[in-house]
Structure 1
Amino acid sequence: MQPFDLEINNINYAVFPEGNETYTIYKDGKEYLQIQKDEGEQWIKFDGETGTPIFEIDEEVNSLGKLIEAYKEEPEEEEDEDYEEAN
């Protein structure tokens, strides 16, 4: 999966998939946090210095996670355009 951009409340985030449902998030062009999908609908963020998971509920992290899930479920637009052009 290629990196992609998301927006929440007029804030732009760049999302870089790392594998194993883990994503590095950049905010305003700087590395911001790393998150991972937990069991169920919760997302966990990792401490920036130690890399250990922080299990407290974070609304921003969960919002990003929901958008990541929605993005993964959408077909890529470029493929749709290529398909239409070929037919």
Structure 2
Amino acid sequence: MQELQEPFDVLVNGVVYSVFPEEDNIYTIFKAGTEFGKIEKDTENLWIKLNPETEMPLFDNDPEVNAIGQAITNYVPEEDSDDDEDFE
């Protein structure tokens, strides 16, 4: 069983998006504290937004969704360490 990733923030065009990983390349996105919606990775460079009611893909090629997706793809989680006393 794959361990769920912790939520994280990405910065896209000066806007902070909070990313909450779900299952199978699906992410719930919050934009400035308001729910933006769920997005899903379709191909390596294409991300799609899901319909809020049905969670079916909306194939509308949204540049904002693709930019958020690219930021998710580029996100590197911080290494987990048992001792968080390394901050100097």
Question: How would you bin the TM-score normalised by the shorter chain?
Answer: 0.7 to 0.9
| Mapped contact 2:12–2:71 kept (Cα < 8 A) | no
> Which of the pair is proportionally richer in helix?
1
The Cα RMSD (Å) is 2.3
The aligned amino acid for 1:62 is N
- 2:73 is matched with which residue? 69
- 1:14 is matched with which residue? 18
| Mapped contact 2:38–2:52 kept (Cα < 8 A) | yes
Runs of 4+ deviating beyond 4 Å: none
Task: Give TM-score scaled by structure 2 length.
Answer: 0.78
Change (3 A) 1:9 1:75: closer
- Corresponding pairs, count: 82
Higher RCO structure, 1 or 2 (CA under 8 Å, sep 6+): 2
Task: Give TM-score scaled by structure 1 length.
Answer: 0.79
The aligned amino acid for 1:69 is T
CA distance in 1, matches of 2:31, 2:61: 20
Change (3 A) 1:75 1:40: closer
